Chain A
């Protein structure tokens, strides 16, 4: 039935969505698509896993913790590890040459670091959008 809940937190295999999983429930099989997020959106960050780059970012911004990055997780799109970039409203895939850690917490930290590097790059689409639409 519609509304069959998928709970990201119930997935035990960290590679579930890379191995082709995601169409699991009866409803998902009927419609041929996955329902809901492909990760646990409520997973809180483990600060023991913070990377040096992220520590530098926090210090630069003058914050005490990850701030908005607490909501960034490594997700999975089309069977590939990817991060959702809210500034372009799209998924950014992790190149296959990258070795993925074996647990979601480390993957989330990797996703946060890559996303910051991507968003702050002069090649990021928002740089062009800013030029095209900025009002002041």
Chain B
């Protein structure tokens, strides 16, 4: 019954007849009916209301359902015990929250988040915090490949080393890595910031369109259209603040960081190109 009601709402909104023309919503700020600091549909939770759940014998679905029911009850801090490297835990939370994970997570942990702060004492698998919109995720040990894939916002921190393709298709936000990062990190990065305190593998920033990568150690080599940039005072102040915030500040400061930006030779955003290509072909 609920799904039928939902479908009628989407029809009323014109979502089934809207032509797909890209950015076609244009509106004007009207702040007569201001909200607070949270989404109108967010759950009212209190950081000081704390609980623990042991998920050793739960499936990922059961665990995520349990988290939502605790949020409904107003719990703002949830400690997750015995995660057992389960996949797809703590996903799709569009709320302010505090999660403390005592152990390690598997693949696609903490995906699609918009707001929570998550602290993980162990390691994480592939595609951690994929598509995160906002919030903070801190991993105390190492992370797998595609860490922060398609990240859109928020701070994503790994105090150890990460695998390859870190921040692939990053569209915003900040990725901080305390150790090294693997090959093709920052691949097709579009905006946002990546900070690697250790070394970076092959093809760093390959095909990046925009955004900034800071590396404290050695860079094995740069990818296509990734070029060195000038480290400004604003960059240094920002690096100092962020790294201090997560207790990752190198003993020798931030002056030695190399800044990598896009050469912007890959930009081809104009609408004549398809017709020009047809003429050539």
Contact = CB atoms under 8 A, between A and B. Distances in A.
Nearest to B76: A62
B191 A71 contact: yes
Nearest to B242: A65
A30 B134 CA distance: 39
B264 A7 contact: yes
Interface in B18-69: 23-31, 33-41, 47, 65, 68
B265 A60 contact: no
Given A3-B267, A35-B270, A71-B173, A117 B25 contact: no
B80 interface: no
A50 interface: no
B272 interface: yes
Nearest to A58: B37
Nearest to B98: A62
Nearest to A78: B26
B31 A93 contact: no
Nearest to A46: B234
A36 B267 contact: yes
B256 interface: no
Interface stretch (B150-158, B161-169, B176-184, B195-203): B150-158
Which of B29, B34, B269 is the most central at the interface, judged by chain A CB atoms within 10 Å of its CB? B29
Interface residues of A, number: 63
Interface stretch (B7-15, B121-129, B139-147, B215-223): B7-15
A72 to B, nearest CB: 9
Interface in B223-281: 234-235, 238, 241-242, 245, 261, 263-273, 276
Contact of A35 (B37, B96, B269): B269
Nearest to B34: A117
B121 to A, nearest CB: 19
Interface residues of B, number: 67
A91 B191 contact: no
A2 B264 CA distance: 11
B212 A42 contact: yes
Given A71-B191, A93-B28, A136 B68 contact: yes
B234 A44 contact: yes
B88 interface: no
B151 to A, nearest CB: 10
A20 interface: no
A57 B134 CA distance: 13
Given A33-B270, A124-B40, A118 B31 contact: yes
B270 A117 contact: no
Contacts of A65: 155, 241-242, 245
B6 A131 contact: yes
Given A67-B135, A120-B39, A41 B25 contact: no
Which 9 residue pairs across A and B have the least CB separation, nearest first?
Answer: A68-B153, A90-B25, A120-B35, A5-B264, A68-B134, A132-B10, A60-B37, A71-B172, A132-B9
17 contacts: A2-B273, A3-B268, A6-B264, A36-B264, A60-B37, A62-B117, A64-B245, A65-B241, A67-B136, A67-B155, A68-B173, A71-B153, A86-B133, A90-B26, A91-B26, A92-B29, A132-B10
